[in-house]
Structure formats: C-alpha cells, structure tokens
Structure 1
Amino acid sequence: MTFDYAKARETMVEQQIRPWEVLDPRVLGVLVRLPREAFVGERHRALAYADLELPLGHGETMLKPVLEGRALQALALDGDESVLEIGTGAGYLTACLGMLAREVVSIERHADLADAALARLQVQGVGNAEVLAADAFIWEPARQFDAICVTGAVDAVPSRFVQWLRPGGRMFIVHGRVPAMQAALLRNEVGGHRTESLFETELPYLVGAEPRPEFKF
C-alpha cells in the first residue's frame, strides 16, 4: 500500500498546526504545499508528519512540525526579508523560510548535514537559500539580517546574534533552562532590544550555548 503523504500533510496542518494557534494563511499554505517527507531520511519517512522530533545524526534532531509552524508565524515574513537561520538541520525549515522571504542564509555546524540539506533544497527548487557549514559562535557575517530563526536553545541570548539583526529586525529563539524554557520573539528596536515570550517549550541547546556548569563546594 502506498503511503498518502499529501493526506498526511493536510492532517498535520489541521490536527497539529492549527490547534496550536498557527493561523497565518501564508504559513499554512507553505506547510500544506512543501513535502516534508522529502527532507526526512528513508528510515523515518513514514513519521515525517508525526508530532515528533526526528533524528538527523550527530545527536541533532528535526524540530516538531508545531514548533516550526509557530516559529514561522512569529517571524511574520512578508516576502521581502533577508533571513538568517542558525542550525539548518534537514533543511525543511530553511525551505519554508525561503518560500516566505526574499532570501535565506542558513548555517549548520556539521558539513555533511549542510551538504544534504542543500541538495534537498535544490531538488525542491528552493533557489533563494544558501547553506553554509559554519559554527554560529565562530562565524562572522559581513552583513545584518531582517529576521533570524534559531533552531536550538540557548541559556541566554548571545549578544552576537542580536548584533546580526538590522534595526527593526526580529529573532525567534528559545532560551532559558528546563522547566522554564521559553520560546520568544526578540525585536531590535531603537535604544535596545525587546523580548516577547511566546510559549513554553523544550529544545536541545546549540553547541556553545549551554548553561555553564555550576560548581558546588
């Protein structure tokens, strides 16, 4: 029996994404059109639309669909933005961002994941996304971005990430520590940045953004 991915995609949107208050029609349209199974390894393809984090290798995982939907909605892209994604992973969220923005630069610390993601993007015809093998805590862009999407958690928001935002730019990021980890939208405004908490969630930390060990005497 052939698995009906199109039906699974519609079910994901109606039973997972919408109930989590993702109602932006542009975001929903992308999630309905883009074949998520094309970004999932063969072993896990039947789980492409499940409410699960899927393994990618190197201990990395693909975000749950609901978290991807909320991140895309929070960034409120209108099609004219330059976007930085920190943590390419499978490239699915990269593709979604590319379909909603003018251009995407995505960085991934594992070169094999970066290469595989770029290949998937090319197959899907997403030509406005660039994938670079780079560590977010070493890499130095020669520019700023209108929006940043961070796909791993941080203990505290790194100042270098904020510096990469243009004035008026916004960043989706998950910060804090379990059990009080928060997804937030950070806005780079005149006089400093403002952070709006969106919802509680839990994500693995970006390498280099983990809490510092607490020394006990």
Structure 2
Amino acid sequence: MWKKLGNLKKFYVRTGGKKGTNKMALLIDGPNMLRKEFNVDLDKIREALDEFGDIVIGRVYLNQYASDKLIEAIINQGFEPKISAGDIDVEMAVDGTELIFNDNIDTIVYMTRDADFLPAIRKAKERGKKIIVVGAEPGFSTAIQNIANHVIKVEEDFELDKEKLEKKKKEKESMRSHHDNNNNNANTVSNADNKNEDKNELNNNEEEKDSIFKNKINWLKK
C-alpha cells in the first residue's frame, strides 16, 4: 500500500482494493501548488487520498495576496484556509511538527514541491508518522520524494474540470434561489395569515361594540 508510484493511473492499481484506515492531515502549500499552470482540482486530490483513509485535517496555506474568490473556493471544497502575512513555509512546517504529537493523526500529507519541509518530515518519520508527498513538475524536490512513504505526482488526471466547476456553481445558485423562494413563500403565507387574524380581530371588536350598544338600548327601554 505504501509503495512509491509515479502517477495517478498506477496509483489507483492497489492490492486489496479496499479503502485505507489511515487518519490523515493534509497540508497544502498554496502559493507553491495552487498555480494556474498546474490547474489543480482539490476534489481530485481528496479522491486520490481517500484510497489511503480519511482526511481529518485539511488546510490550505495562503499569503495575504490571495483573492477572495480563491479563499471562497477553498472553503467550498471543505478545506480550512490559513492566511499569513509572513513566511508560509515556516507556518506550515510548524503546524506539521505540532501534528507529530497528535494521536488522532497517523499520516501527514504535504502537498508541495519544496525541499524546505525536509526537517519537519524527518522529525515526523522519527516519531512514527507516515508521510505522503503530493507534488508536480517542474521543480518537484527529489529529496522529499525519496524520504516520503508515498509520492503522488499531479499530472493531467488532477486538472480542474471547468465544466464540472461551473455545473457545481449553478447547482449551488439554484439551491440558494430555491431556498430564497421558499422563504419568500413562507413570508407571504405568514403575512396573509396575520392579515386574516387582524381582520377577524377587527370584526370581533365591531361585533362586541354592537352587542354592548344593543344591551344599553334594551336597558333604557326597561
């Protein structure tokens, strides 16, 4: 299961064919990997990692210049954006080191091409954590590939499907519109009920006044 494989097609050919039981923390180096030239679909990264187990923690590290659109997309895909005005690599490495002592995590996934994470990866392996590295060429560090228990290379299989993204966006907008219409209908019905209640109350008041007036006339006649 932990044999190093070169690409996604081979990656899916696994003995047993069962989903793994690993509890994973996925740390994504945003500026390094979420680039236009890679066009990465994070949903496909998740699907690939599902073969090994469950992603318990999923974080995407971004710099202060990240667009609102990118941050929203990351949140919509179920990941936690961590925005830093400082050195992203340092913050990501610190978090990776802290995860070594998290008993709920047995596998740390680094999505990066950067060799700067070697010290954190070495320390994690010393503490018995498994390491998966997800990266892309060019510039994919050979050192972090060699130290990892498993390497996944981002190739065409991981590219973002724009049609799929647009479809998901339209479905989301449709659901929001349907929800708003339901709320509007509910408000309309509620307003109509309130008007009917006010009308009934007014009629009751008028009837009560007529009754009092008639009683007074009958008393005077006596």
Scaled by the length of structure 2, the TM-score of the pair is: 0.38
Structure whose alpha-carbon radius of gyration is higher: 2
User: Which structure has the highest helix share of the two?
Assistant: 2
Higher relative contact order (CA 8 A, sep 6+): 2
Scaled by the length of structure 1, the TM-score of the pair is: 0.38
